[in-house]
Amino acid sequence: MSLESTLSSINSFIWGPPLLILLSGTGLYLTFRLGFIQFIQLPRALSYLFRKEKGTGKKGDVSSFAALCTALAATIGTGNIVGVATAVQAGGPGAIFWMWIVALLGMATKYAECLLAVKYRVRDKQGFMAGGPMYYIERGLGITWLAKLFALFGILVAFFGIGTFPQINAITHAMQDTFSVPIPLTASIITALVALIILGGVRRIAIVSSYVVPFMAVLYVMTSLIILAINWKIVPQAIELIIYSAFNPTAALGGALGYTVMKAIQSGVARGIFSNESGLGSAPIAAAAAQTKEPVRQGLISMTGTFLDTIVVCSMTGIVLVITGAWQSTEMAGAALTNHAFSTGLGSHLGGTIVTVGLLFFAFTTILGWCYYGERCFVYLVGTSKLKAYRFVFIVLVGCGAFIHLDVIWILADIVNGLMALPNLVALIGLRHVIVEETTAYFTRLKSDLSDADENA
């Protein structure tokens, strides 16, 4: 039995019905229990991105916007460009629909986990804010062994999952395909840049992310919208195919092998979680560093990350893949497939160039963000004394990721993602009453403050 087939069997077990039900069930429960907060409070959440928090007593290392950008740096990456392509190739167009569903439910999950991160965060020995699932599992649930298990899985994801292999592999192969840059050269340059930046800690990562992520996201979305505008007549048909395929088996190219509904669900959910990381427990680690005194406010800001990542950016990639027919290709995979779709959509190589440049920056900032996540998990388990060893191993793994087979990379990433999600979801369920109480208290205070302002006007 080959390594790839063994990993595939493990992956199918982990991402079987139990985890899918736990992920969707947690998001569904929080959606109802919090009064559809991700829909009703989305305008307020988006407005918070551009409004400074009033009052004093704010603790944290970076601004709320910078904390969101750090989280987005770790989420908007290969999942949006390569992950969507692999999901559609594995599960058909219906996988996109299930990515939407897991994102909409995941917004409530992301809100809850980032709220808890701020509520239960602590200041470490170096003076930095430390928080995330390991802290709210330990301080909220009181289950230290589960907190340590989450931290261990978090390090594995940073080393072997989202943090290294998929990102550097996508960057190097895209640069080779588009600009004929040798893979070893790109891998060496990226590894050296990563080493320079991560030594500066969360503040340097946040600064880089605050500039790069918004710019590249806007450029990528604008390019996608131009393609949709050019092909506007067939956009409704593409969306109809996506929805139809989500509930009905779809024939593959030539009708030889079809896409089952279960495969569409598995691919869409797994890639959706890989992309927006809702329920995974990673974004709360960045949220804990935010300069805020209100856990709910930061939860609202953080949940916009899932909306921007999947509902906006992933949708652009998915619809372009469908309207151009690129999703049916059997000769290309990953970044090459998305490259082809954008080049076809624009009718020139410009589309592919933009995809490659976007992938380069998205994946690079994802590496930075996940180095920080893994580092926080490492510090929780081991302390700061061996931090240089962690960074050294991370940098070495970044350099190695370019030379590993693409299929093995994605299967391994899915496995460690699923393992990381389990302790976090248990914590969200166990602390559901805290989440509801904090939310109710915040909006009650907000309503009271608005009433007082009206009376004094």
Per-position DSSP letters for 158-171, written without gaps between them? HHHSTTSHHHHHHH
The confidence score (pLDDT) of residue 147 equals 97
Which helix (H) or strand (E) is 122 found in, with range? Answer: strand 122-123
Contact 254, 39 (CB under 8 A): no
Task: Write the CA distances from 227 to 81, 86, 352, 358, integer angstroms.
Answer: 15, 21, 12, 16
59 DSSP β-pair partners: 292
122 DSSP β-pair partners: 130
Contact 420, 273 (CB under 8 A): no
The confidence score (pLDDT) of residue 57 equals 59
Cα–chain-centroid distance for residue 244? 26
What's the chain's length in residues? Answer: 457
Contact 155, 374 (CB under 8 A): yes
By DSSP bridging, strand 129-130 and strand 122-123 are antiparallel
pLDDT per residue, tens digit, the chain (457 aa), is 677 788 888 888 887 778 878 888 999 999 999 999 999 999 999 999 888 887 655 666 667 777 777 667 666 767 788 789 888 888 889 999 999 998 999 999 999 999 999 999 998 877 778 899 999 999 999 999 999 999 999 999 999 887 888 888 888 888 888 889 999 999 999 999 888 888 766 566 667 767 777 788 888 889 999 999 999 999 999 999 999 989 987 765 444 455 778 888 878 887 787 678 888 898 899 899 888 889 999 999 999 989 988 999 899 999 999 999 988 887 887 778 898 899 999 887 888 888 888 888 888 888 888 888 899 999 999 988 888 899 999 999 998 888 877 677 778 877 888 899 999 999 999 999 999 999 999 999 988 876 554 444 4
Phi, psi of 406 (to 5 degrees): -60, -45
Range 172-176, long-range pairs (CB < 8 A, 24+ positions): 172/402, 173/334, 173/335, 173/336, 173/402, 173/406, 174/335, 174/336, 174/339, 174/355, 174/356, 174/359, 174/360, 175/356, 175/360
Token couple for 297: 């406010």
Residues 6+ apart with CB under 8 A from 145: none
Cα–chain-centroid distance for residue 117? 17
Contact 86, 271 (CB under 8 A): yes
The confidence score (pLDDT) of residue 300 equals 96
Cα radius of gyration rounded to whole Å, the chain: 21
Cα–chain-centroid distance for residue 30? 19
Of 415, 316, 398, the residue nearest 364 (C-alpha) = 398
Burial class (CB in 10 A: 0-12, 13-18, 19+), 449: exposed
Task: Write the CA distances from 3 to 147, 308, 405, integer angstroms.
Answer: 30, 36, 11
Contact 425, 279 (CB under 8 A): yes
DSSP 23-90: HHHHHHHHHHHTTSHHHHSHHHHHHHTTSPPPSS--B-SB-HHHHHHHHHHHHSSHIIIIIHHHHHHH
